[in-house]
Amino acid sequence: MKLIEGGVCAAKGFKASGVHCGIRKNKTKRDIALIVSEKKANAAAVYTTNLVKGAPLLVTKSHISDGYAQAIICNSGNANTCNANGIEVAEQMSALLASELGISEKDVVVASTGVIGQPLNLEPIANGIPSLVKELKADGTDNAAEGIMTTDTVKKIVAVEFEIGGKTCRIGGIAKGSGMIHPNMATMLVFITSDVAISTPMLQKALSFDIQNTFNMVSVDGDTSTNDMVTILANGLAGNKEITEENEDYKIFMEALNTVMVQLCRLIAGDGEGATKLLECKVDGAKDIKTAKTVAKSVICSSLLKAAMFGADANWGRVLCAIGYSGADVDVNKIDVSFKSIKGEIAVCKNGAGVEFSEEIAKEILLEKEIDILISLNSGEASSVAWGCDLTYDYVKINGDYRT
Amino acid sequence: MKLIEGGVCAAKGFKASGVHCGIRKNKTKRDIALIVSEKKANAAAVYTTNLVKGAPLLVTKSHISDGYAQAIICNSGNANTCNANGIEVAEQMSALLASELGISEKDVVVASTGVIGQPLNLEPIANGIPSLVKELKADGTDNAAEGIMTTDTVKKIVAVEFEIGGKTCRIGGIAKGSGMIHPNMATMLVFITSDVAISTPMLQKALSFDIQNTFNMVSVDGDTSTNDMVTILANGLAGNKEITEENEDYKIFMEALNTVMVQLCRLIAGDGEGATKLLECKVDGAKDIKTAKTVAKSVICSSLLKAAMFGADANWGRVLCAIGYSGADVDVNKIDVSFKSIKGEIAVCKNGAGVEFSEEIAKEILLEKEIDILISLNSGEASSVAWGCDLTYDYVKINGDYRT
Residue B400 to residue A311, Cβ atoms within 8 A: yes
Q: Can A187 be counted among the known catalytic residues? A: yes
Distance from CA of B117 to the nearest CA of A (A): 5
**Phi-psi domain of B121 (left: phi exceeds 0; alpha: psi -120 through 50; beta: other):** beta
Residues 6+ apart with CB under 8 A from B192: B8, B171, B172, B173, B230, B231, B232, B233, B257, B260, B261
* Residues of chain B positioned with their CB less than 8 A from the CB of A313: 400-404
Q: Which of A265-279, A390-404, B8-22, B85-99 has the lowest mean pLDDT?
A: A390-404
Cα separation values, B353 from A118, A226, A361, B338, Å = 9, 14, 53, 12
The lowest-confidence range among A384-393, B161-170, B231-240 is A384-393
Nearest to B223 among A321, A354, A402 (CB): A321
Give counts: helices (H), strands (E), chain B.
11, 15
Distance CA A89, CA A41 (A): 24
Per CB-CB distance under 8 Å, the chain A contacts of B371 are none
How many Cα neighbours within 13 Å face the side chain of B102?
2
What CA–CA distance (Å, rounded) separates B373 from B381?
A: 18
Strand A278-286 to A229-234 pairing: unpaired
From A79, A352, A392, residue closest to B82, measured CB to CB = A352
Are A10 and A170 a contacting pair, CB within 8 Å?
A: yes
The CA distances from residue B25 to A86, A180, B22, B28, B124, in Å, are 59, 40, 6, 9, 11
Cβ contact, residue pair B49, A391, below 8 Å: no
pTM of the entire predicted model = 0.79
Nearest to B320 among A116, A353, A401 (CB): A116
In the predicted model, what is the mean pLDDT of chain A? 91
Is the pLDDT assigned to residue B237 strictly greater than 60? yes
Cross-chain residue pair A323–B395, CB shorter than 8 Å:
no
- The DSSP string of A138-197 is TT-HHHHHHHT-SS-SS-EEEEEEEEETTEEEEEEEEEE-SSS--SSSS-SEEEEEE---
Beta strand segments in B119-244, E: 156-164, 167-176, 189-194, 229-234
Identity of the amino acid at A283: V
Residue A187 has pLDDT above 60, yes or no: no
Sign for the pseudo-dihedral over CA of A208, A210, A212, A215:
negative
B289: helix, coil or strand? Answer: helix
The pLDDT tens digits of the residues spanning A125-169 come to 999 999 999 999 999 999 999 999 987 888 999 999 999 999 999
Distance CA(A210)–CA(A205), nearest Å, equals 9
Q: Tell if the CB–CB gap between A224 and B353 is shorter than 8 Å.
A: no
**Contact between A325 and B51 using a beta-carbon 8 Å cutoff:** yes
Would you call B284 helix, strand, or coil by DSSP? strand
Please choose, from the candidates A141, A154, A294, A162, the residue with its C-alpha nearest in 3D space to the C-alpha of residue A216: A294
B312-331: burial string, b at 16+ Cβ within 10 Å, e else: bbbbbbbbbbbbbbbebebe
Neighbour-count burial of A39, counting CB atoms closer than 10 A to its CB (0-12 exposed, 13-18 middle, 19+ buried):
exposed
Instruction: List CB contacts (< 8 A) between B221 and chain A.
Output: 303-304
Task: Please write the tens of the pLDDT for every residue from A345-357.
Answer: 999 999 998 899 9
CA distances from B333 to A186, B296, B378 (A): 22, 18, 10
Question: What pLDDT score does A49 carry?
Answer: 76
d(CA A176, CA A114): 11
Burial class (CB in 10 A: 0-12, 13-18, 19+), A381: exposed
Chain A partners within 8 Å of B83 (Cβ)? 353-354
Neighbouring residues of B317: CB distance < 8 A, sequence distance ≥ 6? A79, A81, A82, A115, A116, A117, A226, B354
Q: Is the pLDDT of residue B243 over 90?
A: yes
pLDDT of residue A401: 66
Pairwise CB contact (< 8 Å): B302 & A82? no
Residues from chain B that touch A303, judged by Cβ atoms under 8 A, are: 221-223, 303, 395, 399
pLDDT at B116: 81
| pLDDT single digits (tens) B129-144 | 999 999 999 999 999 9
Rg of chain B (C-alpha set): 21
The reply to whether residue A304 touches residue B118, judged by beta carbons under 8 angstroms, is no
Q: Mean pLDDT for chain B?
A: 91
Q: What is the pLDDT of residue A218?
A: 85
Least confident of A203-212, A376-385, B172-181: B172-181
Which residues of A are less than 8 Å from B395 in CB distance? Answer: 303, 307, 396
pLDDT at B62: 96
Going by pLDDT thresholds of 50, 70 and 90, the confidence category of residue B401 is: low
Give the minimum alpha-carbon distance from B178 to chain A in angstroms, rounded to a whole number. 12
Selected catalytic residue, list B48, B187, B214, B392: B187
Looking at the complex, does the CB of residue B337 fall below 8 Å from at least one CB of chain A?
Answer: no
| Residue B225 banded pLDDT, cuts 50, 70, 90 | low
Contact A223 B396 (CB under 8 A): no
B340 has pLDDT over 80: yes
**The pLDDT of residue B140:** 97
Give percent of chain B above pLDDT 70: 95
Which tens digits make up the pLDDT trace of B167-214? 999 999 999 887 655 533 334 789 999 999 999 999 999 999 999 889
Chain B, window 149-208: residues with a beta carbon less than 8 angstroms from a chain A beta carbon:
179-180, 182, 184-185
